């Protein structure tokens, strides 16, 4: 018998990272949308990962979560705040 074959069924969201807090209900809603879409989304915890909150404030302009960091293929970066906007963006870009 050969080695077990592992196939990822997740949909990678390359270039995307979600700044979030485990304590934030708005973040939970976005995470539920990401899970429903079966998205493999990089998560950056602003409370428990050193430097993340500062990164968010410097890059996005404020420390509010959730915030989706979107890096385009050309290297340009957008920071999207507001859970409703992020949820809508994820659904528009990753619904199959
Ligand atoms: N309208 C925003 C509200 C987000 C919000 O209030 N986030 C809180 C955490 S639950 C926060 O980051 N507060 C700290 C701050 O604004 O710097 C949304 O829907 O995303």
Average pLDDT over residues 55-76: 97
pLDDT in tens, 21-47: 999 999 999 999 999 999 999 999 999
Ligand 1 atom 18: residue of nearest CA: 82
Angstrom distance (rounded) from CA 29 to CA 59: 23
In this structure, what token pair is assigned to residue 29?
Answer: 């809603």
Pairwise pLDDT comparison (56 vs 9), residue with the higher score: 56
Pairwise pLDDT comparison (96 vs 6), residue with the higher score: 96
Ligand 1 pocket, Cβ-based, cut-off 6 angstroms: 21, 24, 26, 62-66, 82-84
* Mean pLDDT, the chain, integer: 94
Instruction: Give the residues across from 80 on adjacent strands.
Output: 68
Angstrom distance (rounded) from CA 85 to CA 58: 21
Q: Look at residue 8 in the predicted model and tell me its pLDDT.
A: 66
**How many other CB atoms are found less than 10 A from the CB of residue 95?**
9
pTM, to two decimals: 0.92
Q: Look at residue 22 in the predicted model and tell me its pLDDT.
A: 97
How many structural domains is the chain composed of?
1
Is residue 6 in a domain? no
CATH number for the domain harbouring residue 68: 3.40.30.10
């Amino acid at each position: 018998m050969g080695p077990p074959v592992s196939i990822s069924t997740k949909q990678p969201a390359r270039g995307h990272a979600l700044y979030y807090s485990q304590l934030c209900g708005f973040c939970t809603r976005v995470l539920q949308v990401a899970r429903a879409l079966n998205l493999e989304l990089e998560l950056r915890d602003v409370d428990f990962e050193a430097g993340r909150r500062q990164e968010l404030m410097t890059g996005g302009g404020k420390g509010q979560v959730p915030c989706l960091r979107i890096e385009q293929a050309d290297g340009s970066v957008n920071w999207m705040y507001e859970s409703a906007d992020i949820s809508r963006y994820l659904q528009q870009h990753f619904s199959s």
